[in-house]
């Protein structure tokens, strides 16, 4: 799917074929990682704690990160200790507790009263790279000011940084599929439409035959292995957000998902990072008008979970940012990061070779060139996430060929 009609046509790339066999599946499992390795690379293998979530707090005016923010006491009171001092007993009266809550809230909000103006911001929306309030750009100092930064809503912050694990694997044997998709009770009584009447109206003599006839044709098993790539933009809160999601089946090269993702409020796009993402404002606008877009990261993650589960092997290249943007935690023993695979090659460390995706694909996969698309005017067209996902897949295929079948 092309999202920029100004890109010059390219010579098609011949991607490798690989059969879907148990041997290749076992080889893929040999290339997965451990929690220790993924944590070292910046992946999250467990949800964030409250202390880690508070470090994400930003000013709701200027979007600056508030590193010293502490929530009001009542938001994190556990009954035995205060959040900011877990070793100190909480034995305070109601009046002392209320006074401490007020003092904590004031200290977190007005920590720099000695400065006349600390927070500078624009109170108008950014439209066509200019603010409506003063006409300044994103690099212009704010036209409005406050004596201190104003923290956002802690409840919304906790909801925003809530991570979701991949759905559990469910056996897809014929019997399990039948039991999961037919309206039978535990005693074998049929409760679906066209149910008969009488003493034996709710029971069938040949339950298996009726069950197989009522299986929904749209149900399909989860994918065994996929290659994933995301493109991110920058929001007005100065955070990264998902703007394109691409998922390709590893064995068949079928494009499972390839769609632009329109950020949901309050995440308005400040910059599409077109130089790298290849996505422009007009491309996103046309996708929204035509309805060919995913609305929000939550909807994108739910669509992804329809095709994968905890047993699906996910292949990425430096995918820690992709997983974080999707607010997604996948098992380490089912994750392959091709950037980490390159660290296994002594020659890469010895010669200090680059580990950018385009360099690894060219070096590891017989001179295949990616990320070299040009616009009609001769400028770089940015990345194509489908091409990047297939290039990431090609690297893993090259590694699989180095593993003997025995």
Mean pLDDT of 159-183: 70
Q: How far is CA 32 from CA 109, 325, 327, 342, in A?
A: 45, 21, 20, 13
Kindly indicate the confidence band of residue 155, based on its pLDDT and cuts at 50, 70 and 90.
confident
Q: How far is CA 59 from CA 63, 115, 136, 149, 296, in A?
A: 5, 17, 20, 6, 22
Q: What is the pLDDT of residue 269?
A: 85
Contacts of 87 (CB under 8 A, 6+ apart): 81
Which superfamily does CATH assign the domain made up of 22-45+222-401 to?
Answer: Ribonuclease H-like superfamily/Ribonuclease H (3.30.420.10)
Kindly indicate the confidence band of residue 148, based on its pLDDT and cuts at 50, 70 and 90.
confident
pLDDT in tens, 92-116: 555 555 556 555 555 554 444 444 6
Residue carrying structure tokens 């990320």: 371
Helix (H, G, I), strand (E, B) or coil at 340: helix
CA 324, 326, 330, 336 torsion-angle sign: negative
Domain boundaries, the chain: 22-45+222-401, 52-160, 174-213
Peptide bond between residue 124 and the one before it cis (omega within 30 degrees of 0): no
pLDDT at 19 over 90: yes
What pairing do the DSSP bridges indicate for beta strands 293-295 and 328-329? unpaired
Helix (H, G, I), strand (E, B) or coil at 138: coil
pLDDT in tens, 212-245: 333 333 344 689 999 999 999 988 777 889 999 9
pLDDT at 69 over 70: yes
């Amino acid at each position: 799917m092309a999202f920029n009609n100004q890109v010059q046509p390219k010579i098609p790339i011949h991607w490798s074929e690989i059969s879907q066999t148990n041997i290749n599946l076992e080889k893929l499992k040999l290339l997965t990682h451990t929690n220790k390795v993924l944590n070292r690379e910046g992946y999250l293998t467990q949800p964030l704690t409250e202390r880690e979530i508070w470090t994400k707090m930003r000013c709701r005016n200027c979007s600056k990160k508030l590193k010293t923010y502490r929530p009001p006491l009542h938001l994190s009171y556990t009954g035995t200790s205060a959040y900011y001092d877990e070793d100190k007993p909480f034995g305070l009266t109601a009046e002392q507790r209320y006074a401490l809550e007020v003092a904590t809230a004031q200290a977190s909000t007005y920590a720099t009263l000695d400065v006349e103006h600390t927070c500078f911001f624009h109170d108008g929306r950014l439209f066509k790279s200019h603010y409506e309030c003063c006409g300044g750009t994103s690099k212009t100092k704010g036209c409005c000011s406050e004596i201190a930064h104003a923290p956002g809503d802690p409840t919304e912050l906790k909801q925003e940084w809530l991570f979701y694990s991949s759905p559990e694997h469910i056996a897809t044997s014929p019997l399990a599929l039948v039991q999961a998709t037919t309206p039978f009770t535990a005693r074998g009584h049929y409760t679906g439409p066209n149910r008969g009447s009488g003493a034996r109206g709710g029971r069938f003599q040949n339950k298996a035959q009726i069950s197989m006839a009522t299986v929904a044709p749209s149900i399909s098993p989860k994918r065994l292995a996929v290659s994933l790539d995301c493109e991110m933009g920058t929001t007005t809160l100065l955070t990264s957000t998902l703007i394109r999601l691409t998922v390709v089946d590893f064995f068949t090269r079928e494009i499972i998902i390839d769609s632009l993702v329109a950020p949901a409020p309050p995440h308005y796009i400040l910059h599409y990072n077109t130089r790298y993402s290849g996505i422009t404002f007009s491309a996103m606008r046309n996708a929204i008008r035509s309805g060919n877009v995913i609305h929000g990261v939550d909807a994108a993650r739910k669509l992804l979970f329809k095709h994968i589960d905890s047993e699906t092997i996910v292949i990425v290249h430096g995918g820690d940012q992709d997983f974080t943007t999707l607010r997604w935690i996948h098992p380490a023993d089912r994750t392959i990061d091709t950037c980490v695979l390159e660290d296994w090659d002594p020659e890469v460390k010895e010669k200090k070779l680059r580990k950018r995706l385009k360099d690894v694909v060219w070096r590891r996969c017989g001179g295949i060139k990616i990320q070299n698309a040009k616009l009609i005017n001769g400028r770089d067209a940015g990345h194509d996430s489908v091409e990047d996902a297939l290039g990431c897949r090609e690297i893993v295929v090259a590694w699989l060929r180095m593993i003997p079948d025995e």
